[in-house]
């Protein structure tokens, strides 16, 4: 169990960032939640500020489920990071909670599906997380192999797994163009979506900020 894990009866999740309404993190309009904490530390990761397990904000899963369920016009929840598998109890409870309200679930993990299945053999929370996931994008981000075309996937070694019947690979949304979104919230510019383009955009924005100082 990770140091950022929680009591079983009142699961919590350490959250780095929320976007309540995005078209760039999975099929349809989605609520996107980035968890805080990842020990995998892939070179070139676009969210290094989410590595530390002490940052972000510890939030009750019940509150997060209510927030997702009360967001209008969304198709589902995408869980990103940070590493959702390093907070399996909280992540599983959140995924199961929103799925019970009819929403779909998508998880981005740096672990491969084979690694997650091996963890699931000894950890019921990981089993529950897998059972509550419709779509999984798996594997470490490899900056030497940026993915040029497949939607929502950062590097060519990563795969999309359909873990339920909710989605199918022939859904036309899975082959449409990738997207990047830029928003200004609480005095901050946030960029999310296709990792390669989002990274380039973040670098350009940071360079612009430096030049304006
Ligand atoms: S697994 Fe994901 S969050 Fe963790 S370092 Fe790799 S790309 Fe970044």
Say whether pLDDT at 153 is over 80. Answer: yes
**DSSP conformational letter for 85:** G
Percent of the chain surpassing pLDDT 90: 74
| Chain-centroid distance, C-alpha 209 | 27
pTM score of the predicted model = 0.88
Cα separation of 187 and 90, whole Å? 29
What average pLDDT does the chain have?
90
Q: Please work out whether the CB of residue 18 comes within 6 Å of at least one atom of ligand 1.
A: no
Atom of ligand 1 minimally distant from the CA of 110:
1
**DSSP conformational letter for 8:** T
Distance 94 CA to ligand 1 centre (A): 20
Q: What is the pLDDT of residue 193?
A: 79
Say whether pLDDT at 108 is over 50. Answer: yes
Domain ranges in the chain are: 12-178
Which residue puts its alpha carbon closest to atom 5 of ligand 1? 41
Q: What is the pLDDT of residue 56?
A: 96
Say whether pLDDT at 3 is over 50. Answer: no
Distance 213 CA to ligand 1 centre (A): 31
Cα separation of 100 and 170, whole Å? 25
Q: What is the pLDDT of residue 27?
A: 97
The topology (CATH level 3) of 12-178 is TIM Barrel (3.20.20)
Region 16-43: what's the mean pLDDT?
A: 96
Residue 211 host element (H or E)? helix 195-211
Say whether pLDDT at 208 is over 70. Answer: no
Q: 66-86, pLDDT tens digit by residue?
A: 999 999 999 999 999 999 999
Q: 160-201, pLDDT tens digit by residue?
A: 999 999 999 999 999 887 788 877 777 777 778 766 666 666
Q: 87-106, pLDDT tens digit by residue?
A: 999 999 999 999 999 999 99
């Amino acid at each position: 169990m990770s140091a950022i894990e929680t009591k079983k009866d009142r699961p919590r999740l350490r959250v780095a960032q929320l976007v309540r309404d995005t078209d760039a993190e999975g099929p349809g309009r989605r609520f996107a939640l980035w968890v805080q904490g990842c020990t995998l530390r892939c070179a070139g990761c676009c969210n290094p500020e989410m590595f530390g397990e002490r940052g972000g904000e510890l939030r009750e899963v019940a509150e997060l489920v209510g927030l997702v369920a009360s967001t209008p016009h969304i198709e589902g929840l995408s869980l990103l990071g940070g590493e959702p598998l390093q907070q399996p109890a909280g992540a599983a409870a959140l995924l199961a909670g929103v799925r019970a309200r009819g929403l779909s679930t998508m998880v981005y993990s740096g672990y491969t599906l084979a690694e997650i299945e091996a963890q699931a053999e000894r950890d019921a929370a990981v089993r529950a997380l897998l059972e509550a996931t419709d779509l999984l994008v798996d594997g470490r981000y490899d900056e030497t192999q940026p993915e040029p075309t497949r939607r929502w996937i950062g590097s060519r070694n990563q795969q999309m797994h359909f873990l339920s019947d909710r989605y199918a690979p022939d859904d036309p949304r899975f082959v449409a163009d990738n997207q990047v979104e830029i928003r200004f919230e609480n005095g901050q510019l946030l960029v999310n979506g296709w990792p390669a383009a989002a990274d380039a955009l973040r670098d350009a924005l940071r360079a612009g900020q430096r030049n304006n100082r």
